């Protein structure tokens, strides 16, 4: 088949920020985040400025990675040189998945799976302005914060006439820290006594 008789294709974004968009593939095109690219993908931050080049062929498209930062994947496999993308095959760049379709699919049903209405009611789609989108309030299952019931109040009270710690009061953080501060001094005294005893027995 002569070059001028090559069939035209469509690239449909089936997953990613611009899902549903269709890009004509009638000749070699470059995809990337650069606004001057043949088909710019401005909403995918993981796509390089000049990410990949596609050239239509008789039975699909030739895919060439343009030294992208995050790589190019054809049907799930990363490519390291020119690769072939067949009809209905999928191309992954960044988080954008594109599917190769025949040009006759123009105007036909989209391959994109619509988001259920029950989910879009909770959070607006990226294409919808937040100010004009009514977000349904979903009742929360969280309960109000309450005082713990597993520690009786009397356990934290100091017994009258006693200076020593009682109940759970001794386990409070402030008491534990004050006792921990004295531990190094006790270890030092113990070590000093051990040295003196060792020297006196020589």
Residue 49 and residue 41 in contact, taking contact as beta carbons nearer than 8 Å: no
Residue range 9-20, pLDDT digits in tens: 999 999 999 999
- The listed range with the strongest mean pLDDT (88-92, 152-156, 195-199) is 88-92
Residue 116 pLDDT > 60, yes or no? no
Average pLDDT, the chain: 78
Task: Quick: pLDDT tens for 154-193.
Answer: 665 655 555 555 555 555 666 566 667 777 888 888 898 9
For residue 1, what pLDDT is reported?
41
The token pair that represents 194 in the structure block? 């051990």
pLDDT at 118: 54
Could you tell me which residues are beta bridge partners of residue 86?
60
Whether residue 91 has pLDDT greater than 60 = yes
Mean pLDDT over residues 46-63, rounded?
96
Is 98 a residue whose pLDDT tops 90? Answer: yes
Q: Which residues have C-beta within 8 Å of that of residue 87, sequence separation ≥ 6?
A: 9, 59, 60, 100, 101, 102
Answer whether 93's CB lies under 8 Å from 68's CB: yes
Q: What is the rounded average pLDDT of the residues 97-119?
A: 70
- Give the pair of three-digit tokens for residue 120: 């879009």
């Amino acid at each position: 088949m002569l070059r001028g008789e090559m069939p035209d294709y469509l690239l449909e974004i089936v997953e990613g920020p611009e899902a549903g968009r269709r890009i004509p593939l009638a000749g070699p095109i470059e995809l990337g985040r650069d606004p001057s690219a043949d088909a710019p993908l401005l909403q995918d931050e993981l796509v390089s400025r000049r990410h990949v080049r596609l050239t239509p062929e008789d039975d699909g498209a030739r895919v060439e990675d343009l030294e992208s930062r995050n790589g190019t994947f054809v049907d799930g496999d990363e490519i390291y040189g020119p690769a072939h993308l067949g009809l209905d095959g999928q191309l992954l760049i960044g988080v954008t998945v594109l599917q190769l379709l025949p040009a006759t699919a123009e105007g036909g049903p989209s391959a994109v799976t619509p988001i259920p209405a029950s989910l879009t009611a909770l959070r607006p789609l990226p294409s919808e302005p937040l100010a004009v989108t009514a977000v349904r309030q979903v009742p929360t299952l969280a309960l109000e914060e309450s005082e713990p019931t597993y520690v009786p109040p009397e356990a934290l009270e100091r017994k009258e006439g006693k200076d020593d710690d009682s109940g759970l009061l001794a386990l409070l953080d402030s008491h534990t820290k004050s006792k921990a501060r004295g531990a190094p001094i006790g270890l030092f005294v113990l070590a000093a006594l051990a040295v003196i005893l060792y020297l006196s027995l020589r």
